[in-house]
Amino acid sequence: MSAAALTGSVNAARAIQEAIDERPDPIPLYAELSSVNPIVVLPDAAATRADQIAEGLFGSFTNSGGQLCTKPGLAFVPSDPGGDGLVEALRARVDASGGTVLLNERIRDAYENRSTEFERAGARVSARPTVEPGAGFTVAPTLLEVGLAGLTAEIADECFGPLLIVVRYDDAADLDAALATVPPSLTGSLHRGQDDDVDVVRRLVDVLAARAGRIVFDGYPTGVRVSWAQHHGGPWPSTNAVHTSVGATSIRRFLRPLAWQDAPAWVLPEELRDEYTVISRRVDGRLRPAVE
């Protein structure tokens, strides 16, 4: 079976899909595209682990120059003393950081333009160190801040590079509607404490489950392990397929099912013959374990 795979922008995927549609024999396109990867920090988590969360969040949005598809772009933080402490700890880390080099000129220009667009849309600069021009395409990590009421679809968009927007909220009950303005993503993360309302947690998990391919609890979305359990996908525009693009089962995107109806045993592939026991198989609905 022929297929195409892409990790890139939505515009690039649309262009490839248009070319595919012109083929006499269309093929599937498996595209990994755009992701904001929101992080929600609940009040008790901010009150009890402010510095720890700030440390992990800073690393998550700045490592590799913020050029990871799982980089968090939005962090919802409570407007209370615990949230203030978290934002201050995060601001201090950004202010003390140096410049980071992006992959090419186009990415650098897009990063700077998108940052300017966010500011024009109402997000204010919370921290941005002064960075001397360096080798390559050097930019400054940027921390922006906006109130929940000011979160618009324009602000809730991906910025490829070391930029994070902190969204301050007064009541966790308002987060359901706010998350609905965030495009579906590869991941959604939730930090909660022992005293955070379990009903709020359950409701937010339901919201994230409908809008992300992976839900992270008390952690950060960057760091993708190649494993049997890994899922790296999500609703459009994060990807355009239900399959994972990283992990042991990602090969399924490029496999074509084939049924051998009433075939004589001698024509069957060895793996489908009754005497073949090296792999686990399901026969008449029953799983037969492999026999070494």
Residues 167 and 287 in one domain: no
Q: Would you call 229 exposed, middle or buried from its count of C-beta atoms within 10 A (0-12, 13-18, 19+)?
A: exposed
63 and 150 housed in the same domain: yes
Longest CA span, the chain: 74
Same domain, 207 and 76: yes
Question: What is residue 275's predicted lDDT score, i.e. its pLDDT?
Answer: 87
Q: Which of 18, 69, 117, 154 is catalytic?
A: 69
117 vs 139: CA distance, rounded Å: 16
pLDDT at 202: 96
The CATH number of whichever domain residue 58 belongs to comes to 3.40.309.10
Residue 225 counted as domain residue: no
Q: What is the pLDDT of residue 1?
A: 56
SS3 156: coil
Residues 6 or more apart whose Cβ sits within 8 Å of residue 269: 260
The pTM is what?
A: 0.90
The answer to whether position 224 is within a domain reads: no
| Residue 242: per-residue pLDDT | 78
Instruction: Please tell me whether residues 64 and 111 are part of one structural domain.
Output: yes
* 91 and 45 assigned to the same domain: yes
Q: In what order do the strands lie in the sheet with 212-217?
A: 124-127, 142-147, 163-169, 74-78, 39-41, 185-191, 212-217
Of the listed 32, 112, 145, 158, which one is catalytic?
A: 32
Residue 273 is assigned to a structural domain of this protein? yes
196 domain-assigned: yes
- Do 80 and 18 share a domain, yes or no? no
Q: Specify whether 46 is located in the same domain as 172.
A: yes
pLDDT of residue 249: 85
Report pLDDT for 46. 98
Same domain, 145 and 242: no
Query: Is residue 232 assigned to a domain?
Result: no
Q: Which residues contact 55 (CB under 8 A, 6 or more apart)?
A: 89, 93
Q: Note whether 24 and 55 are same-domain residues.
A: no
pLDDT score recorded for residue 199:
94
In a domain, 106, yes or no: yes
- Is residue 229 assigned to a domain? no
> 266 and 165 share a domain?
no
32 given a catalytic annotation: yes
Query: What total number of domains does the chain contain?
Result: 3
180 shares a domain with 45: yes
Q: Please tell me the distance from the alpha carbon of residue 225 to that of residue 274, in angstroms, as a whole number.
A: 36
Q: Is the dihedral of CA 272, 277, 278, 284 positive or negative?
A: positive
pLDDT at 47: 97
Residue 69 is a catalytic residue:
yes
Instruction: For residue 26, give its domain range.
Output: 4-32+237-254
- 127-150 burial, b for 16+ CB within 10 Å, e for fewer? bbeeeeeeeebbbbbbbbbbebee
Residues 147 and 282 in one domain: no
In the chain the first and final C-alpha atoms are separated, in Å, by: 31
pLDDT per residue, tens digit, the chain (292 aa), is 588 898 888 999 999 999 999 999 989 999 999 999 999 999 999 999 999 999 999 999 999 999 999 999 999 999 999 999 999 999 999 999 989 999 999 999 999 999 999 999 999 999 999 988 767 899 999 999 999 999 999 999 999 999 999 999 999 999 999 998 899 999 999 999 999 999 999 999 999 999 999 999 999 999 888 888 888 999 999 998 878 888 888 888 888 889 999 999 999 999 899 888 898 988 889 998 998 7
Residue 117 lies in a domain: yes
